[in-house]
Each structure stands twice: as C-alpha cells, then as structure tokens.
Structure 1
Amino acid sequence: MIDRIWHGWTTRENADEYERLLREEILPSFADADNDGYRGARILRREADADEVEFVTILRFDSVESVKRFAGEEYRDAHVPDAAREVLKRYDDRARHYEVREEREY
C-alpha cells in the first residue's frame, strides 16, 4: 500500500471553498475515474497561522504502479485541478509517496 501525501495552503477566506472542492468535486472525480488501485483519501486541515490554512491530502493506492496509472510517469508531480489553483495560495509542486508498513485502529 502507498500513501501519496501532498500539502496546499489557502487564505482563511478561501479555506471552506477549497475544502468543499476537495469533498464534492476533486476527490469524487478520482474515485469515479478509471483509477484501478486507488483506495481512497483523507483530508487533513489546520489553522497554520493568522493568514493561512494548511491542507494535507493523503491518497491511498495499492502500489507505485497504481499511482503511475493515476498521475502518469511523472507521478511525483502535483495533480492540482484548475479550480483548486484558483483558491490555493500556494502548494507543493511534488507529492511524496510512502509505503504503508503498518496500520492500526483501536
């Protein structure tokens, strides 16, 4: 299992709109597309400082090959739809990929 982790920051004024885009448009489009090996997503949000809100998206895939089918051969590059670019203040140009070594729920 691979987690694809990416950070983006909005202004406080755009934070709710960006979260709405993630929940209602962006993440559902990933699930609806032919993304064999895509297993879901998590959204993390925190008040970064007085002016910014940070978001972390964690996309889960079966393998690096699944990530490449989703994002292409340059799979480390960020996948940021135009609507998101309009409300993001800044964002990581590249995503990071981690092997999930263990996961526990209590």
Structure 2
Amino acid sequence: MIDRIWHGWTTPANADEYERLLRAEILPSFADADNDGYRGARLLRREAGGDDEEVEFVTILRFDSTESVKAFAGEEYREAHVPPAAREVLERHDDRARHYEVREEREYPADGS
C-alpha cells in the first residue's frame, strides 16, 4: 500500500471554497477515474495561524502500489496534480507529492475495547 501525501495552503478567506472543491469535485473525480489501484483519500485541514494567517490542507491518497500511482498520475508521478480551479484559491502548494510505503496500520474501537 502506498500513501501519496501533498500539501496546499490557502488564505482563511479561500479555505472553505478550497475544501468544497476538494470534497465535491476533485476527490470524487479521482474515484471516478479508471484506476483499479486507487483506494481512497483522506483530507486534513489545519488553521496554521502565525503572521501570514493561512490554512494548511493535506491530502493523502491511497494506492495499491507505485504502479497504481503511475497509472493515476503518469510517469512523472512525483509531480503535483493541481487542477486549475484549485490553483485559483491556493496561495501556495507543494510542487511534488511524497510517496510512502504503508508498513502498518491499526484502528481501535472508540470505546477502548
């Protein structure tokens, strides 16, 4: 299993629109694409604060293998895939995605049992 991790930052004023784009258009389009090795996404959001007051987003896309990532993103799979609508509301973003081999994953019940 491979996790593809990418960061983007918006102004606070653009954060809700960017999240809407991700949830309503961008992430669903990945699921609709013809890529059997794509296994889903996780979206993280954080108010970064500081002098620039920005909002950080992290997207984590899950794939069966590096070959599945390449089927999704092409041979230059490390380069970021940022649709034009997202570029309009992002202040900055990673130029490249990072890929990690998932070595272990655990989930625990909420009640602790």
Coarse TM-score class (shorter-chain normalised): over 0.9
- Which runs of structure 1 show a deviation greater than 6 angstroms over 4 or more consecutive aligned residues? none
Q: CA deviation at 1:49?
A: 1.1
For residues 72-99 of structure 1, the C-alpha deviation after alignment (integer angstroms, 9 at most, x for no partner) is 0000000000000000000000000000
Task: Write the mapping of 1:53-68 to structure 2, written as runs, cut at 5 A.
Answer: 53-68=55-70
User: Which residue number corresponds to residue 31 of structure 1?
Assistant: 31
TM-score (norm 2): 0.92
Q: Structure 1, unaligned stretches of length 5 or more? A: none
User: Which residue number corresponds to residue 71 of structure 1?
Assistant: 73
In 2, Cα distance between the equivalents of 1:35 and 1:48? 34
Q: Structure 2, unaligned stretches of length 5 or more? A: 109-113
* Identical counterparts, % of pairs: 88
User: Which residue number corresponds to residue 87 of structure 1?
Assistant: 89
User: Which residue number corresponds to residue 44 of structure 1?
Assistant: 44
In 2, Cα distance between the equivalents of 1:86 and 1:20? 13
Matched positions, count: 106
DSSP-derived class of the 1:4 partner: strand
Q: Which amino acid aligns with 2:79?
A: D
